[in-house]
Structure 1
């Protein structure tokens, strides 16, 4: 029996217009009635997830910033910060790359040092609470995640310059335009295992959905691991199943309905 469902957002639960499926709220109600817990695991910041899922925030686990920050009912269950030296290194290296803009992600807001219009169009889809600062290496707040907004292509343009850091930090291509850095022991899979411990369940009672490489560890944390039909080849290879429908066809909702026997 499925007891926990954890889904990624962009490219998974959300369509390409960043919209939730219309059936989602009724589906979530039925899941709650069956004591199936929902978790949202995303590279997005905590404040964004709380706003998007405000009506159900008291019964939903939030795994934000690629699992660096896990909360439930306002309680902080897991916080993994990057060391300041790493933040400085990533920022300084990114500054030398073409069309690559670093974004620092704290608990409550994001920080950028450039107000390039194209950057803001990308970033403000996810970071409603942000501050433009003159120098990101001087931001005093603890940082959960460094994200590089790569206006060319994260996997081919910026990622090759940072592969050398993969032994010490978690480096993940999080989307076509995003490359993310977190602490080595911070990822969505670790966050899911913490939630499983809280609920007293294991991977055989867990279903997950993901589409990009920051979802890789999620696939390993659940027996019912689903790569979206539109997923990166690396996620498709790691998942146990592939959804019949993509994110623009409500693939997550339709799969949950079918597997859990729901009627929405």
Structure 2
């Protein structure tokens, strides 16, 4: 019996227009009626998740910033900060790369030092609370995650310059335009395991969905691990299952309905 479902957002639950599936709120009520807990695991910041899921925030687990920050009903269950020296190193290296812009992610807002229109177009999809600063290396607030907005291609343009940091930090290609850095022990898989422990839910009772490499560890902590049909090849290889439909075809909801014999809502 499935007791916990955790899903990624961009490229998974959300379509390419960043929209929830039609009828999602009624569908979610069916999960509640079956005593199934929902978790949202995303590279997005905490404030963005709370705003998007306002109607269900009091009974949903939020694993934001790639699992660096896990909350439930306003209570912090996990906080994994990056050390300031690493933040500075990532920022200074990113500044030397072509069309790569660093974004620092704190608990309550993000920080950027560039007003480039193409950067803002990408970043403001996720960071509604942000501050423009003159120098990111002077930000004193504790940082959960450093994200690089790579307007070329994160996997081929910026990632090779940071691969050597993987022995000390979690470096994840989070999408075509994003490369993320978190503390070494911070990832979505760790976050899901924490939720499992809090609920007394096991590997065999957990279902997860993801599409990109920042979902990799999440695929390893659930028996019912689903790669989206549109997923990165690395996630498809790691998952136990693959959805029959992509994120623009409500692949997550359809897979859940097929598994749990629920009725999709229109």
Q: What is the aligned partner in structure 1 of residue 212 from structure 2?
A: 212
- Matched position secondary structure for 1:162: helix
Alignment of 1:24-173 (within 5 A): 24-173=24-173
1:232 is aligned to: 232
For 2:8 and 2:254, locate their aligned partners in 1 and report how far apart those are by CA, in whole Å: 15
Answer yes or no: is the 8 Å Cα contact 1:145–1:180 preserved in 2.
Answer: yes
TM-score by length of 1: 1.00
1:24 Cα deviation from its structure 2 partner: 1.2
* Structure 1 runs of 4+ with >2 Å offset: none
Structure 1: segments with no counterpart, 5+ residues:
none
2:3 is aligned to 3
Helix, strand or coil at the partner of 2:180: strand
- 1:236-255 superposed matches below 5 A: 236-255=236-255
Q: Distance in 1 between matches of 2:20 and 2:59?
A: 18
1:119 Cα offset (Å): 0.2
Paired residues in the alignment total 264
How far apart are the structure 2 equivalents of 1:155 and 1:203?
A: 30
1:206-260 Cα offsets, whole Å, 9 max, x none, are: 0000000000000001000000000000000000000000000000000001101
* DSSP 3-state at the match of 2:77: strand
Partner Cα separation in structure 2 for residue 245 and residue 263 of structure 1? 16
Q: Deviations over 1:73-127 (max 9, x none)?
A: 0000000000000000000000000000000000000000001000000000000
Q: Is the 8 A contact 1:111 1:132 kept in 2?
A: yes
Contact 1:23–1:253 (CA under 8 A) maintained in structure 2:
no
Query: What are the Cα deviations for residues 41-97 of structure 1, in whole angstroms up to 9, with x where unaligned?
Result: 000000000000000000000000000000000000000000000000000000000
CA distance in 2: counterparts of 1:227 and 1:81, whole angstroms = 28
Shift of 1:263: 1.6
Residue 201 of structure 1, CA deviation: 1.1
Q: For residues 103 and 71 of structure 2, what CA distance do their matches in structure 1 show?
A: 22
What is the aligned partner in structure 2 of residue 177 from structure 1?
Answer: 177
Cα contact 1:147–1:178 (8 A) shared by 2: yes
CA RMSD of aligned residues (A): 0.4
Query: Matches of 1:194 and 1:209 in 2, distance apart?
Result: 17
Asked if the contact 1:12/1:252 (under 8 Å) is kept, the reply is yes
Q: Which residue of 2 aligns with 1:203?
A: 203
Distance in 1, matches of 2:198 and 2:35, equals: 14
Question: Alpha-carbon deviation of 1:23?
Answer: 2.2
Give TM-score scaled by structure 2 length. Answer: 0.99
